[in-house]
Amino acid sequence: MKIGTPGPVWRNRIRLAAPWISLAMGLWSAFFVVRRYEQARRVAWLLGAAWVVLGLLALVRAAIPDDRKWKGKVDFGLVWIAQSASQEILFFVVPFWIRSTTWTSRNAPFTAALLLLCATVLVDPVYQWIVRDLRAAVVHKSLVQFTALAFLVPVFTGTHTLEALALAGALAGGIATTASRLGRPWVAIPTGIFLGAALATAAAPWIAPVPLRVEGGVFCSGVARRLPTDTLRSCPRGRELWAYTPVFAPAGLSDTLTQSWSRDGRELARVHLPLSGGRAEGYRTWSSSALAGSRPGEVSLETSLGSGQIVGRMTIPVL
């Protein structure tokens, strides 16, 4: 090979270096970038920009004859940009999923699956194995899109969490069928939208209500001036027990909370409370139960939405 002439050696070096560059970017984003709720627009722009770039590259690829060497380079660029965009999107959004997950509830497995999804875009051999198969690639990208959209939709629209999940599922399903370039798109795309919305709605009770979460909930002896009078680590038998549970929600979002009081796994009472988003410290809600503290045992309070999504769970021993 002549000096100064690009050849396969340099192309191979670039191909070998790209996964490590992508891994370094992902690790930097995961461990050194501070994510704030106010930065949600960043991931929205990233999501849109990634699809614009991928769409342009796909058009360029379709215009290049099969016998041109540029086709391989464009294919490599498509895969690398998709992988890097998936990394940035997931590592911005997943921390919010983690904060919204009640790890002792049924929504924990889905968030755990999202952590595995993050691993697939970090480990290059695994990602390359996924994108070799069209169906696996469509499922993978659909999950990435849904993870981002389920966070973005309530942030920007203030819709109820169930409606937000349905819309996020519909958008992810529609994008997936568009990207997969299936035959008869006028049938495939509406089908993808319908299936995405239906699956997201049906799975709602097993999905964390991102970005909603209980902010500093405590058991207490009472509430005065919308604040707990104290903090209890255990409750003496015969005392009325109070639970102070401020819930963070995006501005404009309104919903209904259900608080379920239980002792040793047996439900004692249900309380319905309004929820209105916008307060950084969380919308202040509380409820009480005299029956919960009437006997010794393990008392739990579960806060959930009308969709069945669990927002938080607290426990306290009654002595």
185 plus 260 within the same structural domain: no
217 plus 199 within the same structural domain: no
144 plus 42 within the same structural domain: yes
How many independent structural domains does the chain possess? 2
Range of the domain at 86: 8-206
pLDDT of residue 63: 72
114 plus 98 within the same structural domain: yes
> What is the value of pTM for the model shown?
0.82
pLDDT of residue 3: 40
pLDDT of residue 1: 37
- Domain final residue pick, 206, 235, 267: 206
pLDDT of residue 5: 40
Cis peptide before 274 (omega within 30 of 0): no
pLDDT of residue 83: 78
- pLDDT digit string, tens, across residues 34-83: 556 666 666 667 767 776 776 666 667 667 776 566 777 777 777 777 77
| Ordered strands of the 254-263 beta sheet | 266-276, 254-263, 297-305, 310-318
The residue written with tokens 């992902």 in the block is 26
44 plus 168 within the same structural domain: yes
pLDDT of residue 30: 52
153 plus 72 within the same structural domain: yes
112 plus 254 within the same structural domain: no
Non-local CB neighbours of 249 within 8 Å, separated by 6+ positions: 154, 211, 212, 255, 275, 276, 277, 278, 282, 283
> Which parts of the chain sit beneath pLDDT 70?
1-44, 47, 51, 54-59, 61-62, 66-69, 179-185
Task: Please say whether the dihedral angle defined by the alpha carbons of residues 26, 30, 33 and 36, taken in this order, is positive or negative.
Answer: positive
20 plus 102 within the same structural domain: yes
145 plus 233 within the same structural domain: no
154 plus 29 within the same structural domain: yes
Residue 231: which CATH number? 2.60.40.10
pLDDT of residue 198: 95
104 plus 143 within the same structural domain: yes
32 plus 105 within the same structural domain: yes
pLDDT of residue 4: 42
pLDDT of residue 124: 77
Non-local CB neighbours of 156 within 8 Å, separated by 6+ positions: 40, 44
pLDDT of residue 51: 66
pLDDT of residue 177: 80
Evaluate whether residue 3 is within a structural domain: no
pLDDT of residue 57: 67
